Chain A
């Protein structure tokens, strides 16, 4: 049983780097094509900087590909092209909104993407084995909490749109929460992989759930409560929901006890009910969700405009330059999907959702085939973060669930989010590379002779 199952079946994963390159070319066609389409649609001509822009996008993706080819040759070939396509599409849509609003966010976003790819490369190069991260279980937990507290410090933190989740250093503002979510995944995974047996097996049975011992669950529960508490204090509903769900999923996967989902679900609804009673801003969100048209020019304005945008797009969209996506406040960040829905239609929204679904699926696949528990937990955690984030933000802007502010991964304007997501992809690639890599041939070490009892001559003194 100690030997790898894939070698037992004689199955070795292929590297598929050529497939990745091919898909990357398609992703570039999406990104650069969308950029050109924006120019054609809005100004009636191909953007003058198309060569420079397209060239830079190509350099970034090809560089990422080359690095993967060398340092993670067995990594999943689908992930990188998918996120490159999302990022390219996001840039084009931000450029579209720039033209409408006379801002210059797309070039900033391209700079952030460059930084994201640099960190992606750095992660892959300096992290030859994801298990190294397990060493930083507590360090990263502490770092996450520090990062989450930073925005609350006077002088450093700034409040934007009612949520105090930003820090400003000089001209840059940064959302530490984005990075904290990666760190928390590592913390939860590192802790749970060590304590999973104790959590699952030791303890008392209450009703139909095996409650673990306090000393096993306590530390991680504390961490979680602290980070959640900070987010609630910062009024960052989206991130609170995200962290709660993330913890629940990881606890469930680690312990294999579905009871946790029941407990978590009850806690969620209990917590939501309490929050609804205690916080007026939560009530407001729910009211807007229930009837955005009650105050279409006031509190419901953003959501109503987004819904109009989606409706206006219909099946195939109006085409770049033919809609009014700039009517939706923050169309370039949280509400970017409304802009896509309006100008590219249901077709593009479905494509985007499928791309996200693909990222999550590939991440969970990496978790399934990963050979170590830590890798499984990290990959599952990152997949859950992405899935939940996409669900919370897209569900919010399409009025499936109440709106809570979160960025749309890879699409939305926002440096912190983009950079953090590129790091997430790097870690996922590293885990899948480890999982798909054939095991080193150990048969020589298991030479029968060597295993035979050896006679040790004791040299008399």
Chain B
């Protein structure tokens, strides 16, 4: 019987060899694959138990890892609580939001730029430490934006502020209100964490939303700046020209009371022809409706797109809502979708003052202001200034990047003049700063729902001729206050600009 026993031995040997080969494949060759699978909870837990890098604003850490005595070893702490929450996001086991998410590789130390440091850590026997992310934010501007927005809209209000350095695209302030305390969501106590999330997620004010980049609303009259830019750029009007206006205007191709465009009581708009400056100062709907129709939907859209509409541009933080200028309209007749068509006259007219289906995020409107302030050159907005090692050695500094020339410098200069006179003599006067030339534009956008208060907008930049800051303020809800972009948004923008210019 020995011959078959030998055969059986060889067979058994092959069984074991197969097991060994397979397990070697699994633990050696496939290991990398499995260890980078985002569904792998071990990866998440390991990242969670590691000393993550800091998120820095100036010298201060707005997110840091504190050693704690539990199974995860480090607790993520956000000392400024609500102030930076929409930007930092929060860290949880296996998930992150905000910068914690978008900069996860650096913060967790997995980024290839940190490879050498990882190697050194390994040799020194240190635990792997994540790199730091230093932000472009100006802490004074951020705080000014947050407090003035909060004080303006009240505890039940909603809104956002974005401030950009026009020459570089550095985001100086980004505030969304209401905000939340990320410490609760990053707690290692499951119950604390879940209760906080349920409360925040269930709140009608949506505090978890970063309104500055995620909320898209009708920009209202602030969009008139884009319409004016298109008109000047296309040579339809010049800043010194007279433009057609009027007390009311029946939108072309329409009938009925609801399609009559008026100026909400601003009588300066009533003459049939007014100066371009007056149209801007008094924010004349009729003038810009007519101007939009004259320019035409295609040119209007091209100008809007040059400013960043219909595209994504923010790389450092997500998710970002894309601002929209409609390319075409799809009618639905008897439940059937028709062929897409170009915007008709009435739709173009409404788009001209930021209604119909034009929608913009606060960041987008800040970019419109910023491009005008920067002689027409649109810079890519960014939040991450530097990537550093744990010991603050700079690994990479973000270089400002020009996206495109949205408009010509001449157009930008004309628009600047118009906007300065809007602050000096018009609706945007609440943003005026003593001794500084400020350019600004208000906006009050109808929601299209009867009885609901409008959205308030305000965009501005200063100093007008050599701008250091461009701001967009959006007020979504301010219970108990009369929403008019100038009255509510103006002082907020002013506070932010002053904080930067100080």
Contacts and interface: CB of A to CB of B under 8 A. Distances in A.
Partners in one complex: yes
> Which of B4, B39, B45 is the most central at the interface, judged by chain A CB atoms within 10 Å of its CB?
B4
A295 B441 CA distance: 54
Interface string B26-63: 11101111110101111001000000000000000000
Given A307-B34, A341-B23, A400 B8 contact: no
A364 B13 CA distance: 11
Interface in B1-40: 1-9, 12-13, 15-16, 18-20, 22-24, 26-28, 30-35, 37, 39-40
A309 B42 contact: yes
B42 A324 contact: yes
Contacts of A398: 19, 22-23, 26
Nearest to B39: A296
B15 A387 contact: yes
A425 interface: no
Nearest to A337: B23
Interface in B305-348: none
A254 interface: yes
A346 interface: yes
Interface residues of A, number: 48
A353 B8 contact: no
A345 interface: yes
Contacts of A256: 1, 3-4
A55 B19 CA distance: 34
B1 A324 contact: no
B23 A357 contact: no
Nearest to B22: A400
Contacts of B20: 350, 353
A120 interface: no
A198 interface: no
Given A253-B5, A324-B42, A353-B20, A345 B34 contact: no
B41 A324 contact: yes
Interface in A375-419: 376-377, 380, 383-384, 387-388, 390-391, 394-395, 398-400
Interface string A288-326: 000000001000000010011111111100000001100
B2 to A, nearest CB: 6
Contact of A315 (B3, B28, B35, B41): B28
Contacts of A314: 27-28, 31, 35
Contacts of A364: 5, 8-9, 12
Nearest to B20: A353
Contacts of B42: 308-309, 312, 323-324, 327
Contacts of B6: 368
A74 interface: no
A79 interface: no
Contacts of B39: 296, 304
A169 to B, nearest CB: 35
A391 B16 CA distance: 7
B347 to A, nearest CB: 47
Given A312-B42, A353-B16, A380-B5, A346 B24 contact: yes
B41 A307 contact: no
A237 interface: no
A256 B42 CA distance: 51
A307 B18 CA distance: 17
Contacts of A253: 1, 4-5, 8
Interface string A345-367: 11001100100110011001001
A373 interface: yes
Nearest to B9: A364
A387 B9 CA distance: 10
Nearest to A309: B42
A380 B11 CA distance: 12
B365 to A, nearest CB: 42
B23 A349 contact: yes
A252 interface: yes
Nearest to B15: A391
Contacts of A395: 18-19, 22
B8 A252 contact: yes
Nearest to A317: B27
Contacts of A296: 39
B18 A400 contact: yes
B23 A350 contact: yes
A398 B37 CA distance: 17
A408 B32 CA distance: 27
B16 A345 contact: no
B266 to A, nearest CB: 59
A249 interface: yes
Closest 6 CB pairs of A and B: A311-B34, A346-B27, A400-B22, A387-B12, A311-B31, A253-B4
24 contacts: A252-B8, A253-B4, A253-B8, A307-B26, A308-B34, A308-B42, A309-B42, A311-B31, A312-B35, A314-B35, A324-B41, A324-B45, A345-B27, A346-B28, A356-B16, A360-B12, A364-B9, A376-B5, A377-B1, A383-B12, A394-B23, A395-B22, A399-B22, A399-B26
Interface of B: 1-9, 12-13, 15-16, 18-20, 22-24, 26-28, 30-35, 37, 39-42, 45
